[in-house]
Amino acid sequence: MVTPAILAFADGTHFIGEGFGAEGLTSGEIVFNTAMTGYQEILSDPSYNSQIVTLTYPHVGNVGCNPEDMESDRFHAAGLVIRQKPRTPSNFRASASLDEAMREQGRGGICNIDTRQLTRMLRDRGSQNGALLVGEGSVEQAVAAARDFGGLSGANLADAVSVQQSYGWTEGLWRLTPAPATRHVVVYDFGVKRNILRSLVHVGCRITVVPSSTSVEQALELKPDGIMLANGPGDPQPVANGIAVAREFLRRETPMMGICLGHQILGLAAGAKTLKMKFGHHGANHPVQDLRNNRVLITSQNHGFAVDEDSLPESVEVTHRSLFDGSVQGIAHRSAPAFSFQGHPEASPGPHDLLPLFEQFMELMR
């Protein structure tokens, strides 16, 4: 039996296809992702909270899902849009099919629509507020839900996905022996991915993950050698505590590294502004140039906001730039031991070109 599904934009544009996963109605920002692999990592990345993700690669679901590839404790993406319906998985690590995993996680998907057409629309018109209806319902119902969605601008989703209690993390990268733990890092959880924590452990860090609401005094009680501002979803400007603590750690000259949302928070703390991008960067094949040595790196990306280069103060230099659109991808403070990168350097999914950034953070702490 075929489950009906509708993907609708707030302007009334809609696609009718076949549903999979959990039935129900959900809304979010519709974005496209150009990665060829890593659908489970994408679905479980907290940075995709409140987003309906369109995958441009047509074959999705072939290897199923498993507990080891989860980037958090649950799926965060609001929904999934793919070309072909998931087939029976063929991989020795699979414990469930994509359809089964999405049902278990309460997330719906739509397939058998023209994702090329959808991607062109998002590219030309920008990311759209939308809704995904899986199961019985009407186009009018889906369009109304899309119009009711408030969008990501002004949305403090980081506090919504952050942990409520601090915890330690000791697991390193899969099948690799970590360096001895010689530095203690306090990670502000704005939606941190597990492989960011694993990468820190790999280079020799002892990790304490703290809620986004943690004060400077509470963090200092843990006696950190460095501060990590993690990735996360939504607009960075409403994350008031994150910006305030980053500003104070800059003043104290505490070693600090920011990733994704943490990169934008560091920029705001240093006096810059951020802006909403037309359709953002979502994929595992984005070229970024390191301006310090002119090397071109292939990176994993997921963000809809960016640091406004024109607003950067003299105290901050641009270290990395996107070769797609010229936007700021990395910054470093000229006087404080702090730097950040817009993409996901732990590369899950994606290339490993930027793993040395974690070593750079270790050098700052040393």
Going from the C-alpha of 83 to that of each of 78, 217, 304, the distances in angstroms are 17, 50, 23
Give the tokens for residue 293: 């040595």
* Catalytic residue selected from 202, 205, 260, 333: 260
- Decide if 344 is catalytic: yes
Within 164-259, residue ranges assigned H as helices are 194-202, 216-220, 240-252
Cβ contacts of 263 within 8 Å, gap of 6 or more: 229, 307, 330, 331, 340, 341, 342
Alpha helices in 211-308 (DSSP H): 216-220, 240-252, 261-269
**Residues 280/304, Cβ–Cβ less than 8 Å:** yes
Sequential DSSP letters for 72-92: SSS--BSEEE-SS-------T
Cα 188 to its chain centre, rounded Å, is 15
Q: What is the DSSP code (8-state) at residue 263?
A: H
CA atoms within 13 A on the CB side of 179: 12
Residues 164, 161: Cα–Cα separation, whole Å = 9
How many other C-beta atoms are found inside a 10 Å radius of the C-beta of residue 28? Answer: 25
Q: Would residue 260 show up in a list of annotated catalytic residues for this protein? A: yes
Is residue 346 flagged as an active site residue? yes
Angle at 42 between CA 17 and CA 265, to 5 degrees: 125
Question: Which residues participate in catalysis according to the annotation?
Answer: 260, 344, 346
